[in-house]
Structure 1
């Protein structure tokens, strides 16, 4: 294909995309396939000769769409969404066309400077004070890893970068059991070791408290271990738990420990001032991460890390060999020095398009609707015989279950096999529960209320089958 061919096929792809989104409600949310079904439709070896684009396109249409779980489906209520607003998709088309690598300022000045401004727009939007600056990562996993590596090096006075960890002190990090598995992964990848991630006990609201954190730190100091950092949860993936952010930051500061707040999902909701009480005290954090690709319509990947002072992270992750220098610009911002990868996509463009195309008011309305509709769905489910609300809504996330784990698992399987909606599971105090998370960019109240309708129908079907089999 040449660029003239690209002109033709790009237009066809745009038409296909519009039709695809228009028809999503007619598709099952999750692909009704077994593992290997797609691979069996592909040749075992690559072609030696070029193939016509018409053939490639035909194969795409016949194989791929029906083999997808449709993350942009308005009834995707499973994992936190990876939303893609139309304005974001348009920006990504332009980014793909330019195909830049924004590894340093001079390789993509616009990419670097738009990123600086967009991060500050988001800082203002979520209510963080002036002084916080930041960067865009691919995902919260890498943002958290960057924060953990920085905490590690601060604790080691930057000796780890040169000497490694062998023979050094045993470093201890603190988080609640409600934190995302990416925290565990960061601890492992950073060489800290899983056993040195202390999962602090939570209260009845599933929150880590300042008192519990203080006790855990004191116990480690008494045992001759070295506390190194605290990772706080603001909207946990399982059931939406929030640690006592302000309390825990105060304890960490008194103990001389840096803090990183994982608000990957819930952070976007803080563009609505009425929700900010959930992370009260956040202004004291050293690092905060949230994902605009989860709830603000900027498609994956787009994870923003805000830092009260980037110096320690740049010292930890920054390398500037001669070939990455910009002559006469020693103090210029090169965002690769803030993150793990050297290569960087122009992720800020989609933020620029989305924030302007919908405005903060438009995005706030969507989030407020999702939260309100989740509460209505909760009430509709609670009214069904045999359904118990296991955890109440935190923003737009809650969970429910039947009397037994086996019955709940069977219900979830029926729901997802039915295809009209897609839900996932968690465990709450050992109990199997079904998660409901409302956040699809284009969902409607009718889409959300279909959750209770579907559950009611599945329960009636189960009862009818049980009766007829007796």
Structure 2
């Protein structure tokens, strides 16, 4: 009969696991970026039923190499340029390990005082690091909390906005009126999903037109709000974006916030990817106007070396959020909560339970320091700018949008079919991985720099491969004519 792993056995096997991770990172450059297995191949290697007797841990660890890693897309690979970065780092992994070992359930201050207080301070540290408005600090009426993702942050902001727009009736009666959420046509899909979960449905979201830079048009926003009010619809929430998913467009916060103040609408700012850039003073201009927002979020788990899941979410008035979400059954009552002197983060999120996620953030901030984090962001911006220069200088290509951060959007002038064929050939090499979007209806390639393992030579090699395979794509198109 299997026994619980004692401290000495855990120590031995833990060392082996850390060694395995270190070897995995060291060997990433030699692996293909994406899985080379067909669908179902990994599942076929797994037994049809769980083992009757406990297995040797060494065998479990060995199976990572034979079962798991062949079926992975390697997000930490130096040639991974898809989607947005999903960074992790040594300090983050070790912080997660400590969190897992402690096994703290931090739903209330009383169930883990350090879990709550370290998180509060870390969110204040981040607010200082990004130079966020003072109203988001815990020393005032606002404060921050870690959500699992920007999607959850948007959902929580949506619920708080409905509570405000409904005059408090929403919490008791639900959606009894027609409410509207506004975002640009480039806004993230999580905004639509949040509206569905909140009971508004897809029709509860109005996609507002954008300008030539793909940023939300304030004139179109005002027109939409006015029309909705005339039709008896209650404007509840505007979600503005700093760094849209497709192209990293930046919505004009000063003009948007002015409209929200006029109409009393909750303004949530989604900077999931690009918020990390604000650690660099020269990039903080992208956040101009944030001082009037009701809530704001960004993902340290994207570009700030902190492993998933870790979304930093702030509100200007935490009382509104707590009033929206708080449910206090008798079994959770305790003296600390009743005193009103503590924060209970269960009231700041949808789930009740919480992990000690602030530990990995604490480890990262202390290990890298402000200068180390700035160096990481600046490296990504510089490498992306170099890649954009190569695109700009090559008459076969065109840049599709500005690149204020570390994402470059480009395409072949030959058209959609050639661009799609190029992306397929690039990803089939296993050497790099890019993703795509559509801008103004046209197929567009996206190259996002961000992995801490990515060096100059990796971006140089990526451009060399893009250039070489562009000729192949053009030749293939010519052969079909």
* TM-score, structure 1 normalization: 0.96
CA distance in structure 2 between the partners assigned to 1:230 and 1:297 by the alignment: 29
CA distance in structure 1 between the partners assigned to 2:284 and 2:55 by the alignment: 55
Q: Which of residues 136, 153, 161 in structure 1 aligns to 2:146?
A: 136
Whether contact under 8 Å (1:239, 1:394) holds in the other structure is no
Q: Which of residues 426, 433, 439 in structure 2 aligns to 1:415?
A: 426
Equivalent position of 2:172 in the other structure: 162
Secondary structure of 2:402's partner?
strand
Secondary structure of 1:69's partner?
coil
The answer to whether 1:277 aligns with 2:285 is yes
Secondary structure of 1:392's partner?
coil
Q: Which of residues 242, 261, 278 in structure 2 aligns to 1:253?
A: 261
1:447: Cα distance to partner?
1.3
Whether contact under 8 Å (1:249, 1:285) holds in the other structure is yes
Secondary structure of 1:15's partner?
helix
Q: Which of residues 309, 315, 326 in structure 1 aligns to 2:323?
A: 315
Deviations 1:277-313 (Å, cap 9, x if unpaired)?
A: 1221101100001001111111100001011111111
1:462: Cα distance to partner?
4.0
Whether contact under 8 Å (2:418, 2:477) holds in the other structure is no
Q: Which of residues 268, 274, 278 in structure 1 aligns to 2:276?
A: 268
Change (3 A) 1:328 1:240: closer
Equivalent position of 2:139 in the other structure: none
Q: Which of residues 176, 183, 194 in structure 2 aligns to 1:175?
A: 183
Equivalent position of 1:2 in the other structure: 5
Q: Which of residues 118, 123, 127 in structure 2 aligns to 1:123?
A: 127
Change (3 A) 1:469 1:240: closer
Whether contact under 8 Å (1:246, 1:279) holds in the other structure is no
CA distance in structure 1 between the partners assigned to 2:326 and 2:336 by the alignment: 18
CA distance in structure 1 between the partners assigned to 2:199 and 2:452 by the alignment: 38
* TM-score, structure 2 normalization: 0.94
Query: What stretches of structure 1 of length at least 5 have no aligned partner?
Result: none
Equivalent position of 1:55 in the other structure: 59
Q: Which of residues 415, 432, 437 in structure 2 aligns to 1:426?
A: 437
Whether contact under 8 Å (1:295, 1:441) holds in the other structure is no
Equivalent position of 1:395 in the other structure: 405
CA distance in structure 2 between the partners assigned to 1:40 and 1:314 by the alignment: 47
1:468: Cα distance to partner?
8.7
Query: What stretches of structure 2 of length at least 5 have no aligned partner?
Result: 137-142
1:118: Cα distance to partner?
0.2
Secondary structure of 1:240's partner?
coil
Q: Which of residues 316, 340, 359 in structure 2 aligns to 1:349?
A: 359
Whether contact under 8 Å (2:235, 2:265) holds in the other structure is yes
Q: Which of residues 369, 373, 384 in structure 2 aligns to 1:363?
A: 373
Secondary structure of 1:117's partner?
helix
Give matches, 1:65-80, under 5 Å: 65-80=69-84
